[in-house]
Structure 1
Amino acid sequence: MSEITDGTTIGAVFARAVSAHGDRPFLAVPPNEARAYLPAGAEITYGEAGRRVAELAAAYREAGYGPGHRVATLLENHPDHVLHKLALNSLGVCCVPINPDYRPGEAAYLIAHSEPELIVALAARERQAREALAQSAHRPPVVVAEAFPAGLPKPARPADGAEPGPETPASILYTSGTTGRPKGCVLSHGYEVASGARYASLGGLAALRPGEERIYNPLPLYHVNAGVLSLLGAVLTGNCQIQPDRFHPRRFWHEVAATRATIVHYLGVIAAMLMAQPPGAEERRHGVRLGIGAGIEPQLHRAFEERFGFPMVEVWGMTEMVRVLADSTEPRQVGTRAFGRAFPGLEVRVVDEEDRDVPEGQPGEMLIRHSAATPRRGFFSGYLKDEAATEAAWRGGWFHTGDVVWRGRDGMLHFVDRRKNIIRRSGENIAAAEVEAVLLTHPDVLQAAVMAVKDELREEEVLACVVLRRLAPDPAAAAESLFRHCRERLAYYKAPGWIHIVESLPTTATQKIQKHTIYPAGVDPRYLPGVADLRALKRRDAS
């Protein structure tokens, strides 16, 4: 596939797909009467999508949008997200998706940092966009997608006039980093096309049948998995992406059957929640031949496959590099957290804390590169406005993933844990430092330490250890007050699910909190006296 994708752009790839697969389905939405849009579901062909993308692109072009511009989108998992992205990318405009779960302050940071010329939002999200703009130093106009192109303004500055190429930025996706604020990962056209080409050529159990696959991906389009990996893989093979609004455990099998899905995407939490559902006939009334995802618990892996009747292929990737590794060839190493081997175009090292290679079978941080000659080929272009962080991640000519793995004699890589100060909850990366920073804005908080604790359903949950400025007469009420303070300022999933109010925290001589000594080894802090369980309050619709 490299001869088709090298040196090309997303616009060129999509145009070829429209020409070759005009009558084939491109994008489907499952029926869901509870959804605010398209309750009866919908399906559009490559030809229909091509016409709609051309119309959108013409409107943007006439208004003056082009290379050098960025447009932020607040479009959830609506088909308009995909159509506007393709239209904007065809003109060389970079898309900046906004997570709809962001609170106004979080979205305001993204807008100010990325400086888009425009925000395109669903009508139901217009108020949310304007609330964010009220807190932002950068205030672009907002256009409602359902009325587009009505009200589409000209950009504040002219486009740079260059033709889009492989190095042109296609997306900026914000991902949590260890220093608090999310980092903007700049993804080029070449990166996104190469990611799709890798997905399309995994082989083995994951070999795609051109024009025959229907890929059900319940993950957010504003993340790299659904918005880049499977989407571009589908475009390159003339296949259909099925895009629900989000994962619904009770609707999953109904939607999968109704849309005739042949491939499903998953995270560990999705597998766990499906296994927790009571058995029913619907879970076997499907045509799924393959699951593609990451993080299924080893003890669930084989049991899931036996219950639901298809293999779950574990892969590894990250926003900075999503040309995924995959354990897709039989015999797979089911139940060992295996996720694949290095391949031509992705070299892997496993190293200790001083970047020295460790022996086979020993855990260490995974470092990756394309090759010695072109280490960064196929990777993200860098962190927006943060060259220092980009170079730090690439120190020594290898990208430092922050993931701890071990490699067997056969070359198979096995996931162990994350080395970064990141909490992984239901597929979302949460920076402990960001939650700590919000807690410290509460007038009663003197110190805060945030860390991950195990969660049997969501992989990890957020635990906050807090020292108050004065004794709380009602610790439970104080904990709930701290939770609501976070919930008002952070996306719901970032708020602490557990809060432990303590008298003091261990520190170094320079007053740096020593998180690793807060709890004795082998102690699960969730079951200690005084730890408040606030997980029931972590809901999208919570006020």
Structure 2
Amino acid sequence: MTSVPSETLPAIVNRMATADPDRVFIQGVDGRSATWGQLQSSTIDWAARFLSLGVKRGDVVVTILDAGVDAVSVWLGLASIGAIDAATNPEFRGRMLAYAINNCQPELLVVAPQYVGIVETVATELQTVKRVLVLDGDGNRLESQLPGVVALGDLTPNSADTAAARDQVRVPEFHDIACITYTSGTTGPSKAVKLPWGQLHSINLGTFPIEDLTPSDVFYCTTSHAHFGSKSIPYHAAMAGGQVVMRPKFALPSFWDDIIKFQVTTGMLVGSMADLLLRDSTGPTGPTSLRNLFMAPLGSNYREFSEKFGVRVCTAYNSTEGGVAITSGWNPTNSSTVGSLRKGYPGFEVRLVDANDYEVPDGTVGECVIRSRVPWVMNAGYLNNDSATASAWRNGWFHTGDALVRTPEGDYIFVDRLKDAIRRRGENISSFEVEADVLANPDIAECAAVAVPADSAEDEILLFAVRRRGATISPQDLHEDLQSRMARFMVPRYIEFVDELPKTQATLRVIKAELRTRGVGPDTWDAKSKAPQRQASTVAEK
């Protein structure tokens, strides 16, 4: 494409609703779709509904929905009146759900009917909620212990409501908050991140080499409503002038069916997802319509995936709070890379620093800190958490909490989350590197390494692993294999096989905080005793 619009998504919707109103922009895998004209009309209708419920500029509204046409329309309706969508994970339960809602201090919740029962379980814990809008669509009033429940069908706007809404809506600017999204919580409690429109725009400019995308591209969005991808990917498609296909979450059995059915050209995968697809014997044996793939982190077999399916692959370094300051371009040659410093707009700077924020030399592990010369292209802080905001933005740089290494050639290598790093026998160990070695064993499908207390002041390594289907490898077999090809200080002392690893619903990243809390259990095999803890303790008692 020759140019990329420097517009927020609502501005693009308005422009395209005039230029090409009948062209489908969003296609849901459930069969629902929205043209540019329909999306503009739906935005106005939602604005009218929210105004009738008393929503004002600056209000935060918590939404618990599935990604799709309704979720995008609700988001744009809120944005058009200056309110803010705080998407909350429908997988949250109990304490986590109550915390996520209360932290945003909303007066209004918008909930899909399938999640009403889940929200009802925390009804007595909700501190600020006065109204709950349920998207049932049938107009029947609902009986619920939630406060002020109203059904979508009761809020059908008439012509006067619509006209009044048109007079009040406005197109947001880059400095306005586009949405609030919770961090994945892989290392601790989730924080609510304020993402400006400028940040979403910057992310989209840096993810793919956007100059290589065209209006013929069809994007595939499989992220949860609670992940910023469910907003940035439709926006990305609009910036390219293309279309977007939306599935509420990634589903391995549906991936290739969706690609073929909707002629998807442009997708995004976590490396582990790509590895699973590569091993799936029911998938295609060669190229499909898919030609552009963003993969982060790169899977161990990303080159094989690229060659088999005829796609060009790119990667980047990013987080909920960041704005893609490090990116690779197409087909990186180094499987460990996250890319190099992004050039040009918006003028990102990256440093790797020690615990006191002093820059470390090339080849030395340091925390990645980022800033930009352009305002509003990175997060605007954490909602209702000033201390976390001040800590993350100390000394004028955003501290990512990630450990990276820069090569003399300017290539950045991801090492680990700082909280996931392991200190053992005087050595600093990357859990990422331990896992890479474990995954080289053909019987291991997935794994996660975490630190657990040792007899001394340092750590031991606990490895949780998932066997490949049909594999019978024992913990001792795996330990012996790792001893034969890993540095001694990196070989896990503890090994436990599990059926699955706990993961974030949006991006399928392993929640290591949960594994650390779980720790060594009765079924954990110990290299010192050559037995599971249950058996070892029985022997010790005798």
In the TM superposition, 1:2-401 aligns within 5 A as 4-5=5-6, 9-30=8-29, 38=30, 41-147=31-137, 149-151=152-154, 165-176=173-184, 180-199=188-207, 202-203=210-211, 207-209=212-214, 211-224=215-228, 226-278=229-281, 280=283, 282-284=284-286, 286-297=288-299, 299-323=300-324, 325-329=326-330, 332-344=332-344, 345-371=347-373, 377-401=376-400
Alpha-carbon distance in 2 for matches of 1:293, 1:28: 23
Q: Measure how far apart 1:57 and its partner are.
A: 1.7
Instruction: Label 1:409 to 1:213 Cα distance change in 2 as closer, same or farther (>3 A).
Output: same
Alpha-carbon distance in 1 for matches of 2:28, 2:527: 42
The residue that corresponds to 2:475 in the other structure is none
Q: Measure how far apart 1:213 and its partner are.
A: 0.8
Alpha-carbon distance in 2 for matches of 1:179, 1:337: 22
The residue that corresponds to 1:448 in the other structure is none
2:398 maps to amino acid: F
2:338 maps to amino acid: A
Residue pair 2:107, 2:128 contacting (<8 A) in 1 also: no
1:168 maps to amino acid: D
CA-to-partner distance for each residue in 1:197-237, whole Å, 9 max, x for gaps?
A: 4447544xxx211x21101122223212x223322211222
Alpha-carbon distance in 2 for matches of 1:296, 1:127: 38
Instruction: Label 1:365 to 1:528 Cα distance change in 2 as closer, same or farther (>3 A).
Output: farther
Alpha-carbon distance in 2 for matches of 1:134, 1:267: 38
Q: Measure how far apart 1:459 and its partner are.
A: 5.8
SS at match of 2:195: strand
Instruction: Label 1:405 to 1:29 Cα distance change in 2 as closer, same or farther (>3 A).
Output: same
Alpha-carbon distance in 1 for matches of 2:60, 2:3: 28
The residue that corresponds to 1:460 in the other structure is 448
Instruction: Label 1:89 to 1:355 Cα distance change in 2 as closer, same or farther (>3 A).
Output: same
SS at match of 2:61: strand
Instruction: Label 1:369 to 1:407 Cα distance change in 2 as closer, same or farther (>3 A).
Output: same
Alpha-carbon distance in 2 for matches of 1:267, 1:278: 19
Instruction: Label 1:4 to 1:302 Cα distance change in 2 as closer, same or farther (>3 A).
Output: closer
Structure 2: which 5+ residue stretches go unaligned? Answer: 138-150, 157-167, 423-430, 440-444, 456-497, 536-542
SS at match of 1:390: helix
Alpha-carbon distance in 2 for matches of 1:300, 1:531: 37
Residue pair 1:199, 1:229 contacting (<8 A) in 2 also: no
CA-to-partner distance for each residue in 1:19-46, whole Å, 9 max, x for gaps?
A: 334233311123xxxxxxx3xx333222
CA-to-partner distance for each residue in 1:41-88, whole Å, 9 max, x for gaps?
A: 333222222222222222223433231211111112232111110111
1:316 maps to amino acid: Y
RMSD over aligned CA atoms reads: 3.8
Q: Measure how far apart 1:256 and its partner are.
A: 0.9
Q: Measure how far apart 1:370 and its partner are.
A: 0.2
2:16 maps to amino acid: A
Residue pair 1:364, 1:404 contacting (<8 A) in 2 also: yes
2:225 maps to amino acid: L
Moved over 6 A (4+): 461-467, 490-493
2:72 maps to amino acid: V
CA-to-partner distance for each residue in 1:481-537, whole Å, 9 max, x for gaps?
A: xx9xxx9xx9997554964148xxxxxxxxxxxxxxxx9xxx989x962289xxxxx
Alpha-carbon distance in 1 for matches of 2:421, 2:25: 35
Q: Measure how far apart 1:90 and its partner are.
A: 1.1
The total of aligned residue pairs comes to: 439
SS at match of 1:250: helix
Q: Measure how far apart 1:292 and its partner are.
A: 0.7
1:56 maps to amino acid: W
1:213 maps to amino acid: D
Residue pair 2:221, 2:230 contacting (<8 A) in 1 also: no
Q: Measure how far apart 1:339 and its partner are.
A: 2.5
Residue pair 2:222, 2:247 contacting (<8 A) in 1 also: yes
Q: Measure how far apart 1:93 and its partner are.
A: 0.9
SS at match of 2:152: coil
2:192 maps to amino acid: G
Q: Measure how far apart 1:255 and its partner are.
A: 1.2
Alpha-carbon distance in 2 for matches of 1:422, 1:101: 28
Residue pair 2:287, 2:309 contacting (<8 A) in 1 also: no
Q: Measure how far apart 1:289 and its partner are.
A: 0.8
1:49 maps to amino acid: L
Instruction: Label 1:183 to 1:99 Cα distance change in 2 as closer, same or farther (>3 A).
Output: same
SS at match of 1:333: coil
Residue pair 2:370, 2:399 contacting (<8 A) in 1 also: yes
The residue that corresponds to 1:500 in the other structure is 520
1:249 maps to amino acid: L
Alpha-carbon distance in 1 for matches of 2:319, 2:298: 16
CA-to-partner distance for each residue in 1:275-320, whole Å, 9 max, x for gaps?
A: 221264x3536211111120123x3121221222212211221111
CA-to-partner distance for each residue in 1:230-249, whole Å, 9 max, x for gaps?
A: 22211222211211122222
The residue that corresponds to 2:409 in the other structure is 410
Greater CA drift, 73-82 or 12-21: 12-21
Alpha-carbon distance in 2 for matches of 1:323, 1:410: 19
Q: Measure how far apart 1:176 and its partner are.
A: 4.8
SS at match of 2:219: strand
Q: Measure how far apart 1:461 and its partner are.
A: 6.8
The residue that corresponds to 2:491 in the other structure is none
Residue pair 1:170, 1:188 contacting (<8 A) in 2 also: yes
Alpha-carbon distance in 1 for matches of 2:385, 2:271: 32
Alpha-carbon distance in 2 for matches of 1:76, 1:463: 35
Alpha-carbon distance in 2 for matches of 1:251, 1:462: 32
Instruction: Label 1:462 to 1:88 Cα distance change in 2 as closer, same or farther (>3 A).
Output: farther
CA-to-partner distance for each residue in 1:404-453, whole Å, 9 max, x for gaps?
A: 22223332222222113599xxxxxxxxxxxxxxxxxxxxxxxxxxx998
SS at match of 1:320: coil
Q: Measure how far apart 1:465 and its partner are.
A: 7.6
Instruction: Label 1:126 to 1:87 Cα distance change in 2 as closer, same or farther (>3 A).
Output: same
Q: Measure how far apart 1:103 and its partner are.
A: 0.7
Report the TM-score, using the length of structure 1 for normalisation: 0.71
The residue that corresponds to 1:477 in the other structure is none
